[in-house]
Structure 1
Amino acid sequence: MTLESTPPIGSSLGGQNTDRITRMFAKFVSVGYLVYLVILSPSITLMAPRMDSWWTPVVVAMVFGSGLLPGVLAFRADLRLVRRAAAAAALLFVAAAASWPSAWNGPDLPTQDGVWLAAFPGLASLAAAVAWPASLAFTHLVAACVSVQLISTVARDGARLAMLLPEILFAIMFCTLFVGGAVMALRTGRLLDATTEEARAAAADAAAERARAVERERFDALTHDNVMSTLLAASRAQPQKHVRSLAAATLGELDGIHVGAGSDEPFALEQALAHLRAAAADADGHTAFIVIRDGGLQAVPAESVRALGSALAEAVRNSRIHAGAGVMRTVTVTVADAGMIIEAEDNGVGFDPAVVAPHRLGVAVSILGRMARLPGGSARIDTYPGSGTTVRLGWQRP
């Protein structure tokens, strides 16, 4: 199985759960309209002779046509069209009920029958829940239930006015069960999106802190291994030539640390490779590191080197933790004219990305998300249970 990162287009990574739930309810609403059209066909036919000739075909086309549209549009990328279509379906249902008195001619319907619009006011309010905030959706529900119960009372032969209020209250209560469920589902999606964004931000901060810790450790090691050695050599009256050589090497290392960790100056290629090698070694000291030179790349932007190093460290760290015992890990860096490709490969147990828990953000944030945000960056993960894992990181010069 393969995972790939692509830069976000016009939106952040958030909102996916709300969008998915909204599309699901839009499709559900449209299926409901289709089912009611089939079920209510006899009632529509029965009531048609009692209405003005224009009313039945116009209202059937208006109500059921608008009701089918959200589900069709739910397969499209732009969710705004889905919400607009759902809003139109909700409003046209109320408009159809409002137009009924002007087109009614009688005679009254049998007592056991009713106006076919009264069969599904809750479905129209579900469309309102897809399109609008909860307060407007429930306002629509009350308006729809009241209007259809009023016209049913007027249209039925022998209907008792005393039953009007109980019938309105029952209709509102019954429809609220479904509309309330939809509202809560959409609210849950929004909460989940907000929580996911917070978790991603926290994971990104943690990854940045780990990167800073790696740099601090490198600086501490340089201080111990080079600076202290130079001072010790000088204090023990070592030959001046030897002390001078140690001092020059130490100053060169310090300059490299300054340029790499605290500056926006581009990394020279050798500095970039050293940074990547250190990142991989910090995650797992037994990982083989191979460099293949297939171009004349001279320098890499500091931002790109740091992002590649952090993503590589996360990939190697994940492999060390999850790939199993006795696994061989190899990092191969291929340098080309316009960029570089890094492949972190192991022969471990692999995994199925589809079953990774949502709170496990190492792959989603620290690898795919980080590379998606990097100009010219890309990431791809090839893995399958039992077949090992290959993390492919790429950077192309803009």
Structure 2
Amino acid sequence: MTLSPRPAPLDSELRVMRLLSVGAAVEAAVTVVDLLLVEQTDTLPLPTWYAIAAVAVSIFPIVVGVVAPASSARTLRRLNGVSAVSHVLVLAALWPALGFFPAGAPGGQLPWMLSVTGLVVIAAVIAWGQVGGWLTLAALILLMLGGRLVLRDITPTTNANDHHTVITAMLIVVLCSALLGASRTLDVSAEATASAASNRARESARRAALVRTQALVHDEILATLVFAAQNSAKLNPAVAQGAARIRSLLNDLAEGRVDEGACAARQFAAEATRITADADGVATFRWLPDTTSVASDACVAFIEPDAASTLLGALRQALVNSVGHAGTASSRTVTLTTDADELWLRLVIADDGCGFDTSAVPGGRMGISASILARVEALPGGSARVESRPGAGTLVALEWRGRAATTTAQEERDPAQWETTRRSFRRGVTVSVAVFLLVQFALAVNAAENSATPWLSLLTLAGVWLAVFTLGWRSFGRPSMMRSAVTVAIVAATAALMLLLAGRGSMDYWDSWYLMGCALVLFALALRGRLPMALLGAAALAIITALGAAHGLYASADVAISLARPVAIVAIGGAFAVAIARLHSKVLALQAQSLRLVQQEAYESATRVELRDGAARLEAQLGPMLARLEELGEPGASLMPTEAVECAALEGTLRDRYRGGRLAAEPLVTAATSARRRGIDVVLLDDATGDELSSAELTAVVEWMAARLDRAQAGSVVGRILPADRDGVASVVSDGSATLFRGRGAPANLPVVPRFEA
């Protein structure tokens, strides 16, 4: 058995940083295309060095996007920091580039490439987080406003343009910050999930290793010691062979030479096979592992311990019922099916006996309901059913579906941490929506003051606001198809109002402000999982606007920029939606794979450690005696009487450990060993379930039993922790009479009542 490779870190934050860097590159490319489509009519005579710097600032994010898929988080932060700082510096260098306006502030337009804020704030958020994004946006607003003031570039067109870019940048800050925050939380959650999964796998491995060690003790060691205690010349050769075989097995375990049985599914199958054979020696057992599974090597490397014990207990009861009702003459088949990818187990117990009518059996007396169905269905992920009819045999199906990696991640994540992320995102979205509505109001007023049809601006403002409220923002889940369709219809109707009600030649660029407002609503629709509806709305906007231009609605050639930006916004939103969905799917798949590897590695390593420790304990306890027993293979060899007694004592001590449960503790272990060496047959039994006994009570019981064993002189002694429904806590049966230990928390010298306990 080889250890699985260690899983690579999930690093969702790095993946989101790469995605956002590529998004900034796309926006930079769209900006370059935008600049090619629109010609500024009142440009300033800028120095050559400044023009080169401005072009470099616009191209640099594209370069960052190209190298992002192969870059580390540290490199991406630095590159995006350079991108954001360089844009701010170029904007701030406008005044020095124009000679600090020695002849008075010149008139002209601010270069459009310097009014682009979306890609800059994306870079700032990647480099310095949400606070860095807001500070960078504030700096851009102040520098743009200062530049326009000194250039006397305050016009209805620039007002509309700057409002559009600023509100878009605000939404981008909120979106990018939320994505990065969620990715960081996911990475922390993934580490916690892996740790929890590893702990559960180790616990499962410990239990499986204990079962294997117990099987070795039960199948090999106890029988060998019992035969050795008889000190029979006929049995001695077999004892020598058994001792040699035991030492070989212990050496294999101690040196880590474990076979493929350490796989949890194989352990489960082996135990199910044993249970089947114990119930019906001629029953057929089949195991059908999923050989098509990509994780078939793991062979369901991790099974919840509670699931294993519950299913095996139900299997045992189902077989007992089958043998009891169908009879030994009928044939039985047990089929185990496993699927490593889905962490899925199914046990099907079928017989060809007389069967019965399940509907005719009263629920109150149907033992199968409580002993099989109820116990499996109470198991998380468990289900069970019984199919039978007279003359057609009986089938019992038991299933367990383990928790998938994604479900495990959700269950193990820190609720407070995720709630903090959600609250931060909700606050950001709420503030952004409020600012968006106010900005739309400002743009409507700006258009009304400079338009031939001011009332149309107020009408379209109502349409944009109505679309926002219809889509809603209190819930960020996927909106219903009806809500999405109504939102798109409102957007289309808002655009159609201008086409139907505006006069020929009555519109200018600032009158098309509503297109960006509608586009941002569609942007939100795309991000919330309704990309086809968002694209349909964008197509409607483009067609309606193009029809308006064809009918002379626009008084200028601004239709290109009026269409380009809204379409680009929706396209970017759609690209983000697709990229985020694919990223989410890939991250979940990677997390599932990582968890499987973590569980398998933890299971395998813990199995090795537990088996080595168990082998070391047995070797320390039995090593010298096993070496002595191997010598019995020589002709005429035999044990001394004291050695035979010691074999009996060792056999009893090992039996106590696995049958006595909590009674296998000092000073009772020492007292039992001493009694066996005196020739007393000692049996310790733990028949209680759950945690009926406190630590103090258990200590009192152990000390009480040890005292009684020390006083025993001959015969047999049975010490037992009683089930919860008995009068006392524990009993000691010696020479046909019983002494009862009464009362929880009672002192060890409590008066006892002579009584026989069956």
TM-score normalized by the length of structure 2: 0.35
**CA distance in 2 between partners of 1:157 and 1:133 (Å):** 32
The residue aligned with 2:267 is: 282
Pairing 1:141-180 to 2, within 5 Å after superposition: 141-156=137-152, 175-180=169-174
With over 3 angstroms needed to count, the CA separation of the structure-2 counterparts of 1:257 and 1:279, relative to structure 1, is: farther
Which residue of 2 is the match for residue 206 of structure 1?
200
2:120 corresponds to: 124
Structure 1 segment 1-398 matched on structure 2, within 5 A: 12-15=8-11, 17-41=12-36, 45-46=40-41, 48=43, 50-104=44-98, 107-109=106-108, 114-117=110-113, 119-156=115-152, 175-234=169-228, 237=230, 239-243=232-236, 245-246=238-239, 249-250=242-243, 252-253=245-246, 256-257=249-250, 259-260=252-253, 263=254, 265-267=255-257, 272-273=258-259, 276=261, 281-285=266-270, 286=285, 311-312=298-299, 314=301, 318-319=339-340, 322=344, 358-359=406-407, 364-367=594-597, 370=600
Partners of 1:324 and 1:279 in 2: CA distance: 14
Gaps of 5+ in 2: 271-284, 289-296, 303-336, 349-403, 409-590, 606-758
Is contact 2:208–2:267 with CA below 8 Å preserved after alignment? yes
Cα 1:216–1:158 change in 2 (3 A) is: closer
Q: How many angstroms does 1:64 deviate by?
A: 0.8
Q: CA deviation at 1:84?
A: 2.6
What amino acid is aligned across from residue 339 of structure 2 in structure 1? Answer: N
Asked whether the 8 Å contact 2:221–2:246 carries over to 1, the reply is no
CA 1:153–1:373: 2 relative to 1, 3 Å = farther
Question: Is this contact kept in 2: 1:52–1:103, CA < 8 A?
Answer: yes
User: CA deviation digits over 1:278-302, x for unaligned, max 9?
Assistant: 865413235679xxxxxxxxxxxxx
Alignment-derived partner of residue 390 in structure 1: none
Comparing both chains, which one has the higher relative contact order based on Cα–Cα distances under 8 Å and sequence gaps of 6 or more? 1
Residues 157, 139 of structure 1: alpha-carbon distance in 2 compared, 3 angstrom cutoff: closer
- Specify whether residues 51 and 201 from structure 1 end up closer, same or farther in structure 2 by C-alpha distance, changes over 3 A only: same
140-149 vs 74-83, which moves further: 74-83
* Secondary structure, aligned partner of 1:133: helix
The amino acid across from 2:48 in the alignment is W
Change (3 A) 1:278 1:251: farther
Distance 2:243 2:116 in 1: 80
Give the length in aligned residue pairs.
Answer: 301
Q: Deviations over 1:227-250 (max 9, x none)?
A: 332344356x47244156336525
Give the 3-state SS of the residue equivalent to 1:239 in structure 2: coil
The residue type paired with residue 365 of structure 1 is: L
User: Is the CA contact (8 Å cut-off) linking 1:59 and 1:96 kept in structure 2?
Assistant: yes
Larger radius of gyration: 2
Task: Please report how far the alpha carbon of residue 143 of structure 1 lies from its aligned counterpart in structure 2 after TM superposition.
Answer: 1.3
Cα deviation 1:122-170 (Å, max 9, x = unaligned): 320111112223322322221122111211122125679xxx9xx9999
Q: Given the superposition, is the C-alpha separation of residues 158 and 143 from structure 1 closer, same or farther in structure 2, using an over 3 Å criterion?
A: closer
Q: CA 1:148–1:372 in 2, change beyond 3 Å: closer, same or farther?
A: farther
The answer to whether the Cα contact below 8 Å between 2:204 and 2:603 also exists between their aligned partners in 1 is no
* Conservation of the 8 A alpha-carbon contact between 2:122 and 2:176: yes
- 1:72 to partner: Cα distance: 0.9
Inter-partner Cα distance in structure 2 for 1:216 and 1:322: 23
Aligned counterparts of 2:215 and 2:603: Cα–Cα separation in 1? 31
Deviations 1:21-80 (A, max 9, x none): 1111111111111112222347775454x2333255223322112121221112325454
Once the two structures are TM-superposed, the CA of residue 100 in structure 1 deviates from its matched residue by: 0.2
Q: Which runs of 5+ in 1 are unaligned?
A: 290-309, 327-355, 376-398
Aligned-residue RMSD, C-alpha: 4.2
Shift of 1:93: 0.5
Contact 1:44 1:116 in 2 (8 A): no
How far off its partner does 1:173 sit?
5.9
Partners of 2:54 and 2:114 within 8 A in 1 = no
State the Cα deviation string for residues 193-246 of structure 1 (Å, max 9, x = none). 2211221222222222222211100111222233332344356x4724415633
| 1:168-208 Cα deviation digits (max 9, x unpaired) | 99976653221121011011011112211221222222222
- Asked if structure 2 preserves the Cα contact closer than 8 Å seen for 1:66 and 1:88, the reply is no
**Secondary structure of the corresponding residue to residue 33 of structure 1:** helix
For residues 254-279 of structure 1, the C-alpha deviation after alignment (integer angstroms, 9 at most, x for no partner) is 6634651xx4x352xxxx44x53786
TM-score (norm. length: structure 1): 0.62
Displacement, 1:82? 3.2
Cα distance 1:368–1:213, how it changes in 2: closer, same or farther (>3 A)?
closer
The question of whether the paired residues in 2 share the 8 Å contact of 1:66 and 1:85 is answered with no
Q: Percent of aligned pairs with the same residue? A: 21
